[in-house]
Structures are given as C-alpha cells and as structure tokens.
Structure 1
Amino acid sequence: MGFDELYWHDSVIKKIEIDRNNPGKTDTILFEIDWYDIGIKKILFEDVYWLRMDMNFGVVAEESIYEAYIAPNDDIDIMRFNEKWHGILKDTLLCFIIKTASTGSEIKIIAKSCRVDK
C-alpha cells in the first residue's frame, strides 16, 4: 500500500524510533501507529537523508494525525535539500510530511522509500 493510500486522518502516533546503528548506510525511522482502520502497525522510512521534527509537547492528548502526504517537487525543503546534494545523489528521494491535529506538529522526512511492516 502506498503512502498516500493509507488512512492517516485520526490515526495515532504511538512511538517514533530513529535507527543510526549503521550511519550513512542504514538510516531508518520507524513509526508505530494505531491506524484508525487497521489497528497498530509500523511504518518504516528507509534510506533516510533528512529529518525535521517540529513537535509540540505538554498537551494531554494522543498524537493524532491530521494529514500525511508526499510533498510536491516545489516544496521548499526538498528544493533546498536537492541544491545541497546536487550532483552527488543520483537517487530519487521523496519528502514525506506528517501533520498532527492534537498538537499542531509537523514531521518531514526525506527518504528513498517507506513501507508498512506487518
């Protein structure tokens, strides 16, 4: 199932894990999400090159997701990233965006791919 096909709205982020045990070779970010329609599953972002987390804490509420999508090519962060890596990276990277409803947070991940773990 593709990133944009998942039912993000009102699903809840339970855990975020960043794995850099093999830096530069296997950089991953794992989200444990209680999906609104299928229950708890994990989504793994693989070959991560960039991450920005603008998260707000102190709110007594679950971290429910408002929306998530793949950013268009004219997104400012993907454009800046591509400028920095111009000529070095040959792979196509995607910018995944997750916005939350309960705390107004935003997470942006530039990576090669993501997949839902069983």
Structure 2
Amino acid sequence: MALKIRLARGGAKKRPFYRIVVADARSPRDGRFIDRLGSYDPQKAKDDESRIVLDVEKAKEWLARGAQPTDRVLRFLDNAGVLKREARNNPKKGEPGTKAKERAAAAAAAAEAAAGGEEASA
C-alpha cells in the first residue's frame, strides 16, 4: 500500500482549512485517512504559530514506514527540520511565449520604421 502524507481540505466555501493526514494514495483527497498529523490554516497570518500545527514525532514515524510527503507537506517538514527539500528553479517560466515574442518583434519593427520615417522627413 502506497502511503502519502498530504492535505485533506475542510472548511466552508472560500474559507479553506486543511488537515495534514497520512492516507493511502488511492483514497480521495477528503476521504478516508489512516492517521492525522496536524493542521494548516492558510487564513491565518504567516507569522502566527497556530497556522501550521504538526506532530513532528508522528511524521518521523510515518516517514520511516515509507510514507511519501506531497510538495506542500514537504515544505512544512522542511521548515520543521524533519526533511530537506531541494530548491527548485525554472528560469523559463517567466519567459514570454512565442506569440508574445512575435508581437514584441512586430512592435519593435514598427517603431523602427516610424523612427526611420521621421529621420527621412527631417
């Protein structure tokens, strides 16, 4: 059985609240889980201590049994000092797409043509 340490959503519409749970990977997100490790409330301020409540000892036990954390839970475990998370970098993400590059090139060509026309008339 593949185990995941993941978030299970709760709370009202537009007011999320998450439980950090250990669940079978095949179980639905908000469905059956094996153990509850803590909670995460994204509505609270980032410096609030009760924003993330995590039982570190239980998390270590489940990791030793082979449970794999999701990306968000891995961030929480990294902040708690349980696991080390590798920094990610995608320099191409901020790059404009091909259509935007074509539009920019066309705008630059039009500006160059307009500047060339002004010099000829002067």
TM range, normalised to the smaller chain? under 0.3
Q: Which has the higher strand share?
A: 1
Q: TM (normalized to structure 1)?
A: 0.24
Greater relative CO, 1 or 2 (CA 8 Å, sep 6+): 1
Q: Tell which structure's C-alpha radius of gyration is larger.
A: 2
